[in-house]
Amino acid sequence: MDTTLQDPLVGHLLDGRYRVDARIAVGGMATVYRALDTRLDRVLALKVMHPALAGDVAFVERFIREAKSVARLAHPNVVAVFDQGAQGAYVYLAMEYVEGCTLRDVLRERGALQPRAALDILEPVLAALGAAHRAGFVHRDMKPENVLIGDDGRVKVADFGLVRVLGDVTNTTGTVLGTVSYLAPEQIEHGTSDTRVDVYACGVVLHEMLTGGKPHAGDTPAQVLYLHLNEDVPAPSTAVPGLAAELDGIVAAATARDPDLRPYDAVALLALAREARSRLSDAQLDAVPPKAKPVPAGGAEGRTAVIPRVLPAEEPSRDRDRRRKPDGVHRTSRLEMAPPDLPHPAPRRTTRTTPPPRRGIIAAIVAVLLILGVGTGVWYINSGQFTRVPSLLGQTEQEAKKRLADAGLDVNVGNDFSDTFERGTVMGSDPDSRARVRGGGPVTIVVSRGPKIVKVPGLEGSTLAEARRVLKQAGLAAGVVTRSFDDNVEQGAVIRTDPASGDEVRPDSGIRLVVSKGSPVEVEDVTGETEEDATARLTDAGLKVRIAPARVNSPEDAGSVARQSVAEGAELARGDTVTLTLSKGPREVAVPDVTGQKVDEAKNALEDAGFEVSVDRSFPFLDDTVSEQSVGGGGTAPEGSTITIKTKGL
């Protein structure tokens, strides 16, 4: 029977905007529909929380948190969230609709994948998670069901419903959220989550893509949990002989039971995967795996579940009373999409798996309790003497110092080179993370200086600010900045560096930058011109003009340019400034009395006083003595003006 016909939302307009056309999948928390946004006329997926859960504040908050978290990512490999809202009992997310199938569908149909195909899927998944990790989010429920593969080949990560913000409290009392086959040991043992739990899950997913099966299988969730806690994930080559050792290495690094031994986040794992791919030949990448048994559709270990976490013996009895019995585990069904070129399957009813026999579950949990009980006892005996070093790898120096201070531990800082850890992040500590320290420490953290050899980045054409930022990111420093005219490089852009782009240098080296001043502008002579005319000429040439606040006496007319800061013919860059000083006219100077003096003597006296001299010799051959001067001695005249002197006549 087609249960879609009985769905009250199909065929209705939700929130006055979204026309619900068909039901795609049903989960324990929500139902996914294909819908049409009537306002924007586009097909999308509508994820609607089950009305029975709408009254549960915790579920509603988680639902809204998914919308806000994913909306902040805006990454091409993350299923986008367009809108979030509610109408009555229906709380919904409007999401990107991906026409295609899930990775689970692919594995169920094909079994193991070729290494090239597995890496082609893994890399965009890690890119999406890397964006989430760098934005401060942890997915916490990575599995093949949440990897969508579009008909156009695009790979996208979906279902951030269990997302957590890094720095929030990520441990839970008595329960662990996630899918048991992909839970990291620290999620199971302590209920804690950071970026490395997603790294672990991706390692399990890669193992499954390469082998066609999960690394740890069991009849009950408790058995699977026990294996994740106590056994390493086997190398994929043990199940598929001939797989390259580099692929085993990726899985081993990602699924290390000690989280401190894993790549810190998805970005680091992506770098590891790409490096491994670069070392593989085409034959190794295209190796055809043996026909594997398809992954079963069911199985208690394959579902998102709320798993009881084993509590230490000394926890208060009220916490123990809150634990669910193992055979009362609650699970949610998978949200599945139809594979390409196949009609959407008839939706399944949400069902509860028949509880497994109590004896098997109890035996597994007793074994876990015995393991945890020993550690709990040691912790209890030494609780007053020792402090456990928090996880520090990959943290910035400031973050690591704060974590240690919050733990009551003193800190020393050292530095070393690293090709793996980003500059400024913690690459190691002494004692190691999770080790016990007596009293207040101290703990020495080793901060990465980046690689020992750094290539000078290509900065030609970059602005000076961009060049400084790129150099800092590369672990280098901007050295002396010089400027040079260049007709071909835009003003303010880098012409070249010294050492040159691509040269190898040590970290923290200073890189000299030569920055373009653009084409040169030749300065014109504007002295004697009015302020308005001089300013217009210089501005038209591409220069800026500044008028000096004080005027000076000069031979130039009052208000005209007396002098300029840059001489005629000099070259400046476009936008450089020329300062103009205006004249307040010539100053008045006392005129010396030169009558009775010989002409040459009189000229010298007047010129020394700042005047020009004109001689009028009416009878040059009769006498050379000054008889008159145009301005009498003791009077004043403008500096630089002309004084006329006459010789005696008959």
| Catalytic annotation, residues | 141
- Please say whether the beta carbons of 306 and 175 come within 8 A: yes
**Using CA of residue 418, residue 419, residue 423, residue 427, what is the dihedral sign?**
negative
Query: What is d(CA 508, CA 136) in angstroms, rounded to the nearest whole number?
Result: 29
Query: What is d(CA 56, CA 123) in angstroms, rounded to the nearest whole number?
Result: 37
Instruction: Give how far Cα 426 sits from Cα of 21, 23, 283, 396, Å.
Output: 51, 48, 38, 6
- Please say whether the beta carbons of 451 and 418 come within 8 A: yes
Query: What is d(CA 135, CA 70) in angstroms, rounded to the nearest whole number?
Result: 10
Query: What is d(CA 188, CA 177) in angstroms, rounded to the nearest whole number?
Result: 9
Query: What is d(CA 2, CA 636) in angstroms, rounded to the nearest whole number?
Result: 116
Please name which of 428, 434, 437 lies closest in space to residue 408, comparing C-alpha atoms: 437
Which amino acid makes up residue 404?
Answer: L
- Please say whether the beta carbons of 575 and 543 come within 8 A: yes
- Please say whether the beta carbons of 177 and 162 come within 8 A: yes
Alpha helix positions (H), 91-165: 103-110, 115-134
Beta strands in 418-548 (DSSP E): 426-430, 436-438, 443-448, 454-455, 477-484, 494-498, 504-505, 510-516, 520-522, 544-547
352 burial (CB, 10 Å; 0-12 / 13-18 / 19+) is: exposed
Beta strands in 256-346 (DSSP E): 304-308, 330-331
SS3 content of the chain, % helix, strand, coil (to 5): 30, 25, 45
H helices then E strands: how many in the chain? 16, 34
- What values do phi and psi take at 153, rounded to 5? 90, -5
DSSP 311: P
88 burial (CB, 10 Å; 0-12 / 13-18 / 19+) is: exposed
